[in-house]
Chain A
Amino acid sequence: MTRYLTPFIFLAALLAAPFQARGQALELDIVGGNAAALPITVVPMPYLGTAVAPDTDVGAIIAANLNRSGQFRTLAESSLVEKPIRGAEIQFPTWRVLKQDFIVVGRILDAPDGGYRVEYELWDVAKQERLLGLAMSGRVRGMRDIAHQISDQIYEKILGVRGAFWTRIAYVTATGPLNSRQFALMVADSDGVNPQTVVRSREPLLSPAWSPDGRRLAYVSFERGNSTIYIQELTTGAREVIASFRGINGAPNFSPDGTRLALTLSRTGNPEVYVMDLASKALTQITRHFSIDTEAVWTPDGQSLVFTSDRAGRAQLYQVPASGGEAVRLTFEGDFNAKASISGDGKKIAMAQGSRNVYRIAVLDRSLAQPRWQTLSPGNLDESPSFAPNASMVLYATKDRGRGVLYAVSADARVRQRLVLSDGDVREPAWSPYRQR
């Protein structure tokens, strides 16, 4: 009898203590569930060394990452009746009763060079087969990075898709009263932890865009009194003015090879899309139209740009060769479609879609014979979608009770997670490319 009751007790414990992960600055809530998610147990990884124990809970970070993806659901720590740390210690019947498909066990040791060494194993519960057995070493302060890299390895081993947990997000915060706002461009880990200030200003900041190597950010600042595009090195803080013409200098976006920048200038009188060669600073005008042409982003092959234009009345998305030429309209659903983000495989375009007074994140899948639309967000003022580099999730901005917040939503729209700053508005998210190992 006890054997049969046990799963129900565990289930009750799960319901009583729903999963919650808290970042240092960003509050994370899973607002939707995913019954189809794969059940996986991440057993806490104890420190077995002789020095000072790490202050990072590696297992908890891995569990939070897997949950956030929408592809997995982890067993709550309170439900762990056994805590194996090696594959040989796993009692498979226990985990089968708990209906777990996968189990991750590991331990943390001292590394010879002074940091830590994490040894972990991923097991398939049904087959009792070891899928991964790896060790990762890192500096004392690099343990969160190690946890994100292990998350990526587990994600890729099970799903066959590269993980995007070891990545970063850029975003803009605005704090203080409306007549004396403080703006900051921030970079944090993909889970919202470790926020770092890139630049602070009393004038508006917007439109951060990552270089393909993840080392630089292009952004727009009004600190000179008019919009100006800067490119800034993240490690040194050194920055350069890229465009400061009369009129608008906006919407920077790096080409996939990092040598060119798409941007919007209105120096001729109204906003047009240009491409700048970053080495020579030479400009090529791509659009020539009296409408607003802006928010150009590169297709992954570097051959085309997708941009926003209101040449047909209201804003819609268009595609144009990156060397210039005729623009072709892409969107025919919704009154307003703007600010494209293109998935790494080029198949999907996420955008802010407006119909009357409702703005939501919509995705257009162009890989099928018939273009397929999907709405990813339920809000009223959702904007600024940004694909994760593996396109498994989309980050976007919205307003929640009058305050700007970010959400991460799984590509199937079933799991959403809110990232809220404790103070002020958060907006303009940009998901980084994969980090280089």
Chain B
Amino acid sequence: MNNATRALLVAAIAVGLSACAKKVREEAPAPAAAPAPVATAPVNDGRYGPEDLDTVACLRQRTILFDFDQDSLKPEVQAVLACHAKYLQDRPESRVTLEGNADERGTREYNLGLGERRGNAVSGAVQAAGGSAGQLTVVSYGEERPTCAESAESCWGNNRRVEIVYTAR
């Protein structure tokens, strides 16, 4: 990526920050295992904390979808990635694995490459928005971990994805 496109990317992220994208699937809410809130609520200093991963809408969006045989990010996902980037900045001890996936079309080893490209695209965008490379790991599963098995675009579209997995909050 050259400097001009990087600058454009950052600008796009800034524009998109105000609202979270709609085309990104939401994670199921995490089980309410956290202790009940008590009177000692911390003063909000604008930084994300671990509990925000379960409550803040854009942080709960952890699946990024892609077009067929493409690894370019759709404009609407930039806001979500910027949100995760801010979390990583606010919580330097947090770690994320970006799991790249592909639909079933094409060969399995080629799709390993495609899944990795998608993971790298997300990693690059998160870093451009302020996340550090040391917090990010990309793993490609290719077409080996589908979320659905029907041979139709409705299913393929959901399998062409990068999953943002927090391994340390």
Contact = CB atoms under 8 A, between A and B. Distances in A.
Interface in B136-159: 138-142, 144-151
Contact of A336 (B106, B109, B141, B147): B106
29 contacts: A178-B148, A206-B109, A206-B142, A247-B116, A247-B138, A247-B140, A248-B116, A250-B112, A266-B113, A269-B120, A270-B113, A271-B112, A292-B110, A292-B113, A294-B110, A295-B107, A295-B109, A308-B107, A308-B109, A314-B69, A315-B106, A354-B106, A359-B106, A380-B151, A381-B105, A383-B107, A399-B104, A399-B151, A427-B108
B141 A204 contact: yes
A311 B144 CA distance: 24
A246 B147 CA distance: 25
Interface in B88-143: 104-110, 112-114, 116-117, 120, 138-142
A310 B70 CA distance: 12
Q: Which 8 pairs between the two chains have the least Cβ-Cβ distance?
A: A292-B113, A204-B144, A339-B107, A338-B107, A271-B113, A251-B109, A294-B109, A295-B109
A89 B138 CA distance: 71
Contacts of A359: 105-106
A222 B141 contact: yes
Interface in A299-330: 308, 310, 314-315
A237 interface: no
B107 A384 contact: yes
A18 interface: no
Interface residues of B, number: 27
Interface in B52-94: 69
Interface in A214-228: 222, 225-227
Nearest to A226: B139
Contact of A402 (B106, B108, B151): B151
Nearest to A307: B109
A96 B141 CA distance: 59
Contacts of A428: 108
B82 to A, nearest CB: 24
Interface in A248-284: 248, 250-251, 264, 266, 269-271
A352 interface: yes
A292 B117 contact: yes
Interface in A381-400: 381, 383-384, 399
Contacts of B109: 206-207, 250-251, 264, 294-295, 308, 339
Contacts of B112: 227, 248, 250, 264, 271, 294
A11 B168 CA distance: 71
A266 B115 CA distance: 12
A226 B139 CA distance: 6
A2 interface: no
A38 B151 CA distance: 39
A370 interface: no
B69 A270 contact: no
Residue in A178, A269, A292 whose Cβ sees the most chain B Cβ within 10 Å: A292
A402 B151 CA distance: 7
Contacts of B138: 247
B103 to A, nearest CB: 10
Given A248-B116, A295-B109, 16 more contacts: A206-B108, A206-B142, A250-B112, A264-B113, A266-B113, A295-B110, A315-B107, A352-B106, A357-B105, A381-B104, A381-B151, A383-B106, A383-B107, A383-B108, A402-B150, A428-B108
